[in-house]
Structure 1
Amino acid sequence: MSDTSPQAVAKFPAPSLGELTVDMKQYFDDNGVLVLENFVSKEACEKLMAQAGSIVEAFDPNEFRAIFSTTNKSHEGNTYFEQSGDQIRCFFEEDAFDDHGNLKQEKALSINKIGHAQHDLDSVFSAFSRNPDLAQVAKDLGMEKPLLSQSMYIFKQPRIGGEVICHQDTTFLYTEPHSCIGMWFAMEDATLENGCMWGLPGYHKAPLKKRHYRNASGKLITEKLDDSPWPEEDRVPLEVKQGSLIVLHGQLPHLSGPNTSDRSRQAYTLHLIDGACDYPDTNWLTRSVDMPFRGFK
């Protein structure tokens, strides 16, 4: 938020037992983003990638051909997506189908993401998500009662991996006061060529621009709170190696471009909220009374 050119985001080595240093915490406070390299092992990444592949393999594309797109909002208005808060469901890329409704390429190369409760319903995802080191990071960032609210496994498929428009996670996981934190794990190297994330360091201190919620009739709507655009000149690429963890403040604007390369950019995202805060029942992501949000244990 200055007149100078944006600086590259600093990268820190993974802290021992997840205990953040004073410098790490200060950097997150100042910038709204924290990159921790080698947070998880190559073996852990490969195990999660294999499990994601198994979920896709078991998925019947005729069950529901839901497309996920942040550009045209094609996923909104269908119950398959809107009732996925306590399910494991697969969503296709926008360009996965031809004009006749047939997949252009094999199923495994057509899925956009898996969401949104595999961290609770799948033992491999649960073990990865409930890492004690990750719980320590959440504690060091001031979360009193961290709850694992949402998970997404994102494939960013070669050549058809869709753009994710600039957004703030608190728009979708709103608490009073705001408490959302995103934990983004690179399952593969994320580069400019295959659609790495971009962030706007420091802009987490700006007001929330949108609120996505269910209105009185239960329909999902997005309310604009501030129409001013995010300054493109302050965007910084977040290129990281496999195993890196990118921690995102819930109000940090971030985005990613399409993947036009011939390499995927798989990633796993876990969103936390603080159970000490109020989570309105108007939020889009809801759960049955039998499956409340859980913490790290």
Structure 2
Amino acid sequence: MSVLSPEQIAQYQQDGYTILRNALSAEDISVLRTHIEGIASGNLPFPEANIEFDPNAPRQRHIDHLRKINGPSDCDPFFRDHAVREPLLTAAADLLGPDVKLYGDQVFIKGPGGLEKTYHQDSAYFHIEPMALATAWVALDDVTLENGCLWVVPGSHREGLIDHSEVWMVGERQDKKVPDAAIDSQREQPILLQAGDCSFHHSLLLHRSGPNQTTTRRRGMATHYMSARSRWTGRPEDKPEYPLLRGREHAGCV
């Protein structure tokens, strides 16, 4: 049985995103927050290499300086359980088909004064074809214009992969960005969410997030789903083992 309505699926196909309101209960959100806070505060063991702080964070880092937790499901079964949580997994299958694998996941934490993230497409970072992954972005806090909501360019996923050759420096770390001239700012739309809502966006959808101009954190849990029929395009020796979440494996695919 589907979770997304025909209208939501059509919106995803046309615009590259859709929103599932009240996807998670207040209790589910509380459990997620508590677990993530445990990692962020150092009370739960977690590999330091997977934890990323704001580049302008002082030497004595505080929880408000935490920017990102990368690949949490690789290190903690709690996040693997989140990837198969309903209604998220069925919604992903509505968009991708019956055979679904987990590409990866991230926790995004934009603290007070947290930096913007410039326009990009997720597929520029993913060695997967077709470039048609679906990210489920669960709001752990209300997401507003002031605290750094996502902005998207509807329909941009149908225009293919755009050049990401411009360099964007995040402190001392080099990142990619789409040239400003490639963005039609007249088309961009904000994605405003309440805690427990989940937005789904296509891996070719142009999106960015603004700075956090408030005194509180803006937290989100992003889970990247892909069809089990997808193909790995990186070096064969670098191919990870991608967990099958629903359906079956396909020979020669991820």
TM-score of the two chains, using structure 2 as the length reference: 0.83
Q: Deviations over 1:118-168 (max 9, x none)?
A: 224323222222114222112211335321111111110012x11111111
Checking the alignment, whether the CA contact within 8 Å between 2:127 and 2:234 is kept in structure 1 is: no
Structure 2 match to 1:12: none
Structure 1 match to 2:56: 95
Task: Return the alpha-carbon distance in structure 2 between the equivalents of residues 175 and 287 of structure 1.
Answer: 10
Q: Deviations over 1:215-247 (max 9, x none)?
A: xxxxx99698x9951111211111110001000
C-alpha displacement of 1:55: 1.2
Checking the alignment, whether the CA contact within 8 Å between 1:48 and 1:124 is kept in structure 2 is: no
Task: Return the alpha-carbon distance in structure 2 between the equivalents of residues 92 and 145 of structure 1.
Answer: 35
Q: Does 1:209 find its partner at 2:170?
A: no
> Which of residues 197, 200, 204 is equivalent to 1:251?
204
Checking the alignment, whether the CA contact within 8 Å between 2:23 and 2:88 is kept in structure 1 is: no
- Quick one: which amino acid aligns to residue 70 of structure 2? G
Q: Does 1:23 find its partner at 2:7?
A: yes
Q: Does 1:273 find its partner at 2:226?
A: yes
Q: How is 1:176-191 mapped onto 2 (pairs within 5 angstroms)?
A: 176-191=129-144
Aligned pair count reads: 235
- Quick one: which amino acid aligns to residue 178 of structure 1? M
Structure 1 match to 2:42: 58
Checking the alignment, whether the CA contact within 8 Å between 1:48 and 1:125 is kept in structure 2 is: no
> Which of residues 70, 92, 95 is equivalent to 1:141?
95
Q: Deviations over 1:80-136 (max 9, x none)?
A: 4xxxxxxxx211012212xxxx23xx52111101111x2243232222221142221
Unaligned runs of at least 5 residues, structure 2: 166-173, 247-254
Task: Return the alpha-carbon distance in structure 2 between the equivalents of residues 182 and 109 of structure 1.
Answer: 25
Unaligned runs of at least 5 residues, structure 1: 1-16, 65-79, 81-88, 213-219
Q: Does 1:296 find its partner at 2:250?
A: no
Identity %: 23
- Quick one: which amino acid aligns to residue 181 of structure 1? A
> SS where residue 33 of structure 2 aligns?
helix
Q: Deviations over 1:183-212 (max 9, x none)?
A: 101000000111111111111111201469
Q: For the structure 1 residues 40 and 223, does the alpha-carbon distance in structure 2 shift closer, same or farther, using more than 3 Å as the test?
A: closer
Which has the larger displacement, 244-253 or 176-185?
176-185
Task: Return the alpha-carbon distance in structure 1 between the equivalents of residues 115 and 176 of structure 2.
Answer: 21
Q: For the structure 1 residues 245 and 221, does the alpha-carbon distance in structure 2 shift closer, same or farther, using more than 3 Å as the test?
A: closer
Task: Return the alpha-carbon distance in structure 1 between the equivalents of residues 183 and 149 of structure 2.
Answer: 18
Checking the alignment, whether the CA contact within 8 Å between 1:131 and 1:296 is kept in structure 2 is: no
Q: For the structure 1 residues 157 and 172, does the alpha-carbon distance in structure 2 shift closer, same or farther, using more than 3 Å as the test?
A: same
Q: Deviations over 1:5-48 (max 9, x none)?
A: xxxxxxxxxxxx75222111111111111011100011111111
Over the aligned positions, Cα root-mean-square deviation in angstroms equals 2.7
Checking the alignment, whether the CA contact within 8 Å between 1:57 and 1:108 is kept in structure 2 is: yes
Q: Does 1:242 find its partner at 2:186?
A: no
Q: For the structure 1 residues 19 and 221, does the alpha-carbon distance in structure 2 shift closer, same or farther, using more than 3 Å as the test?
A: closer
Checking the alignment, whether the CA contact within 8 Å between 1:132 and 1:296 is kept in structure 2 is: no
Q: How is 1:66-105 mapped onto 2 (pairs within 5 angstroms)?
A: 80=49, 89-97=50-58, 102-103=59-60
Task: Return the alpha-carbon distance in structure 1 between the equivalents of residues 199 and 175 of structure 2.
Answer: 29
Which has the larger displacement, 257-266 or 118-127?
118-127
Task: Return the alpha-carbon distance in structure 2 between the equivalents of residues 237 and 231 of structure 1.
Answer: 14
Structure 1 match to 2:66: 111
Task: Return the alpha-carbon distance in structure 1 between the equivalents of residues 205 and 183 of structure 2.
Answer: 11
Structure 2 match to 1:167: 120
Structure 1 match to 2:106: 152
> SS where residue 138 of structure 1 aligns?
helix
C-alpha displacement of 1:282: 4.3
Larger proportion of strand:
2
Checking the alignment, whether the CA contact within 8 Å between 2:64 and 2:217 is kept in structure 1 is: no
Q: How is 1:122-133 mapped onto 2 (pairs within 5 angstroms)?
A: 122-133=76-87
